[in-house]
Amino acid sequence: MQFNIKKAIVNFKKADFNSIMVYVVFVIVLGIFAIWLGGTFFSAANMLSITRQAGATAVMAVGMVFIIGLGHIDLSIGSIVALSAQIIALILRSTDNIFLALLGGLGMGLVVGLVNGLAVTQVKIPAFLATLGTSSIIRGIAMWTTNTKAVPIANGTYNFFFGAGAVGPIPVLLLWTIAALIIGYFVLSCTAFGKQVLASGGNYTAAKYSGVKVIKVTMIVFIMMGVISALAGGLYAGRMQTARWSYGQGVEMDVIAAVVLGGTRMSGGNGSIVGAIVGALLINMINNGLIIGGFEVAQQTIMKGVIILLAVALGNVGRNRRHD
């Protein structure tokens, strides 16, 4: 079989560059850091450290693919992270029972997701405003619950399985990321529910008249996002072996950026689980590289913003050319 160069070029031009943009940017950024920082950055230990740091963000990015694919957004996830971490830590301190701790933390996420879903579907509040409001409430509760004090976690089993542990050289958080990738990909790509989510986000009216119970789908997605965010809070707590009200501050921006960089359109109707995971790794790789490079926090924030803007702009240019 001969390779047809002309056909390959035509197929490449037809491709949606936005869908592969995150992989291109990932390789470029990886190459820049490898040349600039050398072995310090590109060591196996640091690569595994990046996957550990990205674990909670990657898990939430999988849930956010469904939210954005539905055409909505959830800004409450960072606050859910903080409060769930505190609930888990407080229950562990009182009972030392991992099951009860997880039940309390995940249950809180479920309730917040339910409230968000009801606000969007029944009260008809735009998701941006509804989740912004619940975010402020939950963050305030997290601060009030412990009077802004940290709550240490002394349960070694919990800390091992939910963040601090490793199986050989493989961080447990990388295994959580892989599990989220597999489950998220299967649900989005291989189930009727996943197709209903994307159909509802692509064309609400058409989906509704096609028999999709759009309100039910929306409720499930927001509840799912709440539970996933609460699980991420548990992973934060396990990795740091403590809980703080400040956990998750600004993480919603990282998660949304990871999903959009991964090829999911903010307008809804499509979604890429693999792209979102790579986007989460990219965001944390940028953070890691800038820290090793000696950048201060303010400079890190600026550089990360510039890189994200350039990457999204590059994807938009590629998509616009495809449609011309």
Q: Distance of CA 211 to CAs 72, 161, 220, Å?
A: 20, 42, 17
Q: How far apart are CA 199 and CA 76, in angstroms?
A: 24
Per-residue pLDDT band for 21 (boundaries 50, 70, 90) equals: confident
| Closest CA relative to residue 139, chosen from 199, 93, 79 | 79
Read out DSSP for 166-189? EETTEEHHHHHHHHHHHHHHHHHH
Name the token pair of 101.
Answer: 């701790």
User: pLDDT digit string (tens) for 67-101?
Assistant: 999 999 999 999 999 999 999 999 999 999 999 99
Task: Name which residue leads in pLDDT, 60 or 13.
Answer: 60
Task: Name which residue leads in pLDDT, 201 or 8.
Answer: 201
Indicate if the pLDDT at residue 313 is higher than 80.
no
Indicate if the pLDDT at residue 319 is higher than 60.
no
pLDDT of residue 2: 47
Per-residue pLDDT band for 245 (boundaries 50, 70, 90) equals: very high
pLDDT of residue 183: 97
pLDDT of residue 12: 44
Indicate if the pLDDT at residue 34 is higher than 50.
yes
> What's the sign of the alpha-carbon dihedral 290, 291, 295, 300?
positive
pLDDT of residue 36: 87
Indicate if the pLDDT at residue 4 is higher than 60.
no
Indicate if the pLDDT at residue 30 is higher than 90.
no
pLDDT of residue 6: 53
Q: How far apart are CA 226 and CA 121, in angstroms?
A: 16
Q: What is the share, in percent, of the chain residues with pLDDT greater than 90? A: 62
pLDDT of residue 246: 92
Indicate if the pLDDT at residue 295 is higher than 90.
no
CA 109 to chain CA centroid, nearest Å: 15
Indicate if the pLDDT at residue 14 is higher than 70.
no
Q: How far apart are CA 24 and CA 214, in angstroms?
A: 35
Q: How far apart are CA 206 and CA 2, in angstroms?
A: 44
- 166 - beta bridge partners? 171
pLDDT of residue 314: 65
- 319 - beta bridge partners? none
For the beta carbon of residue 166, count every other beta carbon within 10 angstroms: 14
Q: 189 CB contacts (<8 Å, ≥6 apart)? A: 273
pLDDT of residue 3: 46
Helix (H) or strand (E) holding 243: strand 242-243
Indicate if the pLDDT at residue 59 is higher than 50.
yes
User: pLDDT digit string (tens) for 148-159?
Assistant: 899 999 999 999
Mean pLDDT of 264-287: 91
Identify the weakest region by mean pLDDT among 145-149, 174-178, 214-218, 236-240. 145-149
Q: Strand, coil or helix: what is 152?
A: strand
Alpha helices in 96-126 (DSSP H): 98-121
Task: Name which residue leads in pLDDT, 319 or 30.
Answer: 30
pLDDT of residue 7: 52
Per-residue pLDDT band for 259 (boundaries 50, 70, 90) equals: very high
When the pLDDT of each residue in the chain is averaged and rounded to a whole number, the result is 88
pLDDT of residue 17: 59
Q: What is the DSSP letter of 162?
A: I
Helix (H) or strand (E) holding 242: strand 242-243
User: pLDDT digit string (tens) for 98-130?
Assistant: 999 999 999 999 999 999 999 999 999 999 999
Residue 217 and residue 197 in contact, taking contact as beta carbons nearer than 8 Å: yes
In angstroms and rounded to an integer, the radius of gyration of the C-alpha atoms of the chain is: 20
pLDDT of residue 302: 86
Long-range contacts (CB closer than 8 Å, 24 or more residues apart) made by 302-307: 307/25, 307/29
Indicate if the pLDDT at residue 278 is higher than 50.
yes
